[in-house]
A and B are shown apart, each in its own frame.
Chain A
């Protein structure tokens, strides 16, 4: 169905490498806006009305750091496979939270990159889905560990 050259490009480990840098940089950038102001970020999460009050602050403190570390690991290639799985799971959770609140109909701000910022909407849903596609490509076609092994033998 899919023509050969396009399929080869989409499954290429070089594409994986580029996507790793892109997705990693995206997550690092996303974390920096929130990491220093957990109280405001907690309010942004509270607007989603999904995370219980008791764990709200914990989530607001941990999430930006998980984004930063997984983004960093993805770029430097340390535990990058576990990192991309965590990133994928986060993206799925974000997507579900955004869609639930679009269904509820309150135009809350995303809290994706900073504590104020853009309102959730189809643009955010698309962005999220695109990054999820990146993560899936990296998971299946990134060849980092195999390349490492060859260098040592």
Chain B
């Protein structure tokens, strides 16, 4: 008797069956079966034949699906008064999800025949079930939308990611350069200016063998093309090349230095180093090798192989 009362109580709490007329509920409460399950017992599996509709009397169950990739996805956790298993009963198709008890659970089992009779006698039950499924669909749609958003976001990569990558690099680079004993100043100092001569003036001095022409470009550039008779003295190798091969006896001799690019004022750097070494008459060739060649003055080129 008390079990029947308890069943009625549970049925009244249920969202689908709760509104049934009193006598129908009472009959159902009298005739339905009770199934007791241990914790973590599988109640039914996806793919199984549908045999009943379940309402949780006490305890807790979880509904889940397993994907092909072996990942598991929980659809719901149900407690007392909540129901499951109606979809397959209505369609006659195999079960679409797995149900497992989480704790010791008692289930009210409405058999297939009982359920079908109820649907037949009370057509509004179907409408309730459809409305419930519609809510699931809306919820799924929301999930799909959220997941799509995450996917799109992760595939685009935000501006913040670029700022992070570049920002971390810049911070570490500047900190490291500050601590590095070989560190360099981030903004290069401009070399002191040196008086300049035009290609024509330089040519006059050159003809009279008065001036020494110095090519300050790196060696690979010098080897490719330089003013005929020019000595190579790039600032990076200044000390070695100066010691090894530079004529140092006449410090008053006129020296014309050329060679600069968008990336480096080689001519000024070498000229300043020569001034430091005591040469008094050091000049820069205005317009460099380009102007010299444009005026038709002699250059030496590497012969193409």
Contacts and interface: CB of A to CB of B under 8 A. Distances in A.
Interface of A: 35-39, 42-43, 45-54, 56-58, 60-62, 64-66, 68-70, 73, 79, 81-83, 85-86, 105-109, 145-146, 149-150, 153
B42 interface: no
Interface stretch (B6-14, B150-158, B203-211, B281-289): B150-158
Nearest to B163: A82
B187 interface: yes
B236 interface: yes
Contacts, number: 117
B202 to A, nearest CB: 23
Main secondary structure of the interface of B (DSSP, over half): helix
A73 B172 CA distance: 14
B73 A50 contact: no
Given A57-B184, A145-B155, A69 B165 contact: yes
A41 B147 CA distance: 46
B157 A150 contact: no
Nearest first, the 3 A-B pairs at minimum CB distance are A145-B154, A82-B161, A65-B173
Contact of B187 (A58, A62, A73): A58
B188 A86 contact: no
B169 interface: yes
Contacts of B174: 61
Given A61-B186, A65-B170, A86-B165, 18 more contacts: A36-B180, A38-B182, A39-B182, A43-B236, A46-B263, A46-B264, A50-B263, A57-B185, A57-B187, A62-B170, A65-B172, A66-B166, A70-B165, A85-B162, A86-B162, A108-B218, A149-B147, A153-B73
A82 B162 contact: yes
